[in-house]
Amino acid sequence: MSRTITRDLTKGRPLSLILSFTLPLLFGFLFQQFYSFVDTAIVGKYLGAAKLAAVGDTGSINFLVLGFCQGACAGFSIPIAQAFGARDEREMRRCVSASVYLSAAVSLVMAVLTSLLCPAMLRLMNTPEAIISDAVSYIRIIFIGIPVTILYNMASGILRSLGDSKTPVFFLVVASLVNVALDLFFIICLKLDVAGAALATLISQLVSGVGCVIVLRRNFPMLTSGKGEGGPDLKRMKELLLVGLPMGLQYSITAVGSVIVQWSVNGLGVAAVAAIAAAGKLSIFFCCVFDALATTMATYAGQNMGARDVDRIDLGLKNAAVIGSIYSALAFLVIWFFSPALLSLFVDAGTEAEVMDMAVTYIRINGAFYIPLLFVNILRLSIQGMGYTRVAMLAGVFEMVARTAVALFLVPVMGFAGACLANPAAWIMADLFLFPCYAFVIRAVRERLHVPVRSHGLLHHKEAEHASAASGRPSWKHGRTVGYGDRYSATEAR
């Protein structure tokens, strides 16, 4: 198996591995958000608050639809990570081939349906008539480009499953520069309005997606399908769907709550919509660390599940929690003291004072609850990496219920202040489910694999081999993919 740019997360110090894997991912997520930052900044500065509100109003249905696609792609990559951890190249090729067919089918169906239904979805969200035309123009282009979004998410997910977190970052850097240039050209020079921002985003994503595919084809020959491996494998596709669909639905279920919150905010007026759009963009920037840690834990847990080193997963989660908690405290301090200056990138405080005041309030309240958000991310993705995607999906249900309750009961009474509490309530509710859920999953996996609790969660490799020989199980060097076709099937266990 090629080791030129892959990374094995089944051996070595978990803390250093998690940090070294997370940092390139973080850099990539920051550049990915840079796309959105540029769109928002240019729209807000050059087109005004109403156009900013139109783009921002699409955020929740954007998350509803693209979140499903991204979650499904992430789920398709989990079996690949487990096969990599088990050193099973044939299984990797089969999973990659099946994921390509599934991604193509999902992208085409989603693009057609959502591009046709986006006006109806925006009207159901109570989008103000003053901005609905611009909102439709923006989001329809994004939805038509869903195949481009899935191309990048699938290719980058495969790369990360093999331990390569750097290549996707490189192409995101290139794509971000393309996005900046095209935003300025389409909006300022060609006067394409909000549609120009959407086109710039899609073309940029296409650049990053094609780049990742080229690297996969050139640098990972072990993924090239051999005889009898390249055609549609219905059995593998069904197994991947059992993992991918729950992850996609998890994102969508979570987004339903966001859509309902957006519906309630839309009733507060254009200023409230613009404030949450601006504050949300800045908040996403700060949350990139949580996304990077979560993605790392999905790959880390997947590879170590394939290697059957359950205690190592537990130790890795604790290290990720320490890293994320320290960052959360620092991020809150930055938000508290510097959020007005940072929000001025999107809002002109001189002419839009009301929008600025509401945006500052929103991001400060959300920033105070970043530690609960941290655990939502790392617990859920660790559970999913171990193959329990349907169980983890329930966390999205808790988030949806909390956001819906805030939208229906707090916003009508408290107004904008109530809307500021929607995310914190959702994160806390999800954690109330995820902490006991993670403990249950770890215990269930140990029992199913007959893995004893190890001192400090780690054994020396030689000790692991001796323990494996004594128990009659294969050592980490001879493991097979857990959860896909053997007697330790995670699917059957659920």
pLDDT at 274: 86
316 confidence band (pLDDT: 50, 70, 90): very high
pLDDT for position 35: 63
Q: Is the pTM of this model over 0.75?
A: no
382/168: higher pLDDT: 382
Mean pLDDT of 386-402: 88
Q: Are 275 and 359 in contact (CB under 8 A)?
A: yes
Lowest mean pLDDT among 8-17, 293-302, 404-413: 8-17
310-343 vs 370-385: helix crossing angle, rounded to 10: 140
DSSP 322-382: HHHHHHHHHHHHHHHHHHHHHHTTTS-TTT-HHHHHHHHHHHHHHHTTHHHHHHHHHHHHH
User: Nearest 5°: phi and psi at 145?
Assistant: -90, 15
User: What DSSP string runs through 95-120?
Assistant: HHHHHHHHHHHHHHHHHHHHHHHHHH
pLDDT in tens, 118-177: 899 888 888 888 888 889 999 999 999 999 999 988 998 888 888 887 888 888 888 888
Overall size of the chain counted in residues: 494
pLDDT at 472 over 60: no
Under a CB-based contact definition with an 8 Å cutoff, are residues 143 and 118 in contact?
A: yes
- pLDDT tens-place string over residues 197-216: 889 889 988 998 999 999 98
Question: Residue 475 pLDDT more than 60?
Answer: no
Residues 322, 371, 76, 256, Cα dihedral to 10° = 180
What is the pLDDT confidence band of residue 1, given thresholds at 50, 70 and 90?
A: very low
For residue range 70-105, list pLDDT tens digits in order. Answer: 888 888 888 888 888 778 888 888 888 888 888 898
Structure tokens, 380: 């859920």
* Residue 226, pLDDT score: 66
pLDDT digits (tens, 9 = 90+) for 236-269: 888 888 888 887 887 778 778 878 898 899 889 8
CA–CA gap between residue 303 and residue 386 (Å, rounded): 9
Give the pLDDT mean for 357-362: 95
First to last CA, the chain: 32
Query: How high is the mean pLDDT of the chain?
Result: 82
- pLDDT attached to residue 73: 87
Q: Judge whether residue 471 has pLDDT over 60.
A: no
380 pLDDT more than 80: yes
Half-sphere exposure of 370 (CA within 13 A, CB side): 28
Asked if 88 and 169 count as a contact pair (C-beta separation under 8 A), the reply is: no
Q: What is the four-CA torsion angle of 484, 490, 492, 494, rounded to 10 degrees?
A: -150
415: left (phi over 0), alpha (psi -120 to 50) or beta: left
Q: What is the pLDDT of residue 29?
A: 78
Give the pLDDT mean for 226-232: 66
State mean pLDDT over 215-235: 76
Q: Please report the pLDDT score of residue 492 as a whole number.
A: 31
Q: Are 69 and 148 in contact (CB under 8 A)?
A: no
